[in-house]
Amino acid sequence: MGLASLVLDIPSNVEIIKNSMMRWQKARVSRMKFSEITQKGNDFSDNRWKIIDGDGELLDNAQGYGFKSPYNAQKVIDYMNGRKK
């Protein structure tokens, strides 16, 4: 189902999609606290990164593992904002 189908089938989805896009436009990378990492691997000394929106709400934390580098998290933000390399 494409984006056009979502809008044509349920016109109120336009506002939901717009709000989601705005959250990703204001997204930034933040370091995770140790207690936020729900799926701890073998190496606990690594810093892990998450993506939050402008209000500080979580957008993505790589299923609890966190991103290994801020660069990887930024690539997700770029992709969600349509900036692909």
47-78 confidence digits (pLDDT tens): 899 999 999 999 999 888 889 999 999 999 99
64/8: higher pLDDT:
64
**For the chain, which residues make up each domain, given as ranges?**
3-80
**What confidence category does residue 10 fall into, taking pLDDT thresholds of 50, 70 and 90?**
confident
In terms of pTM, does the model score above 0.85? Answer: no
Mean pLDDT of 27-50: 81
Token output for 37: 């990492």
DSSP string, the chain: --HHHHHHH-TTHHHHHHHHHHHHHT-EEEEPPGGG-SS--S-TTS--EEEE-TTS-EEE-TTTT-BSSHHHHHHHHHHHTT---
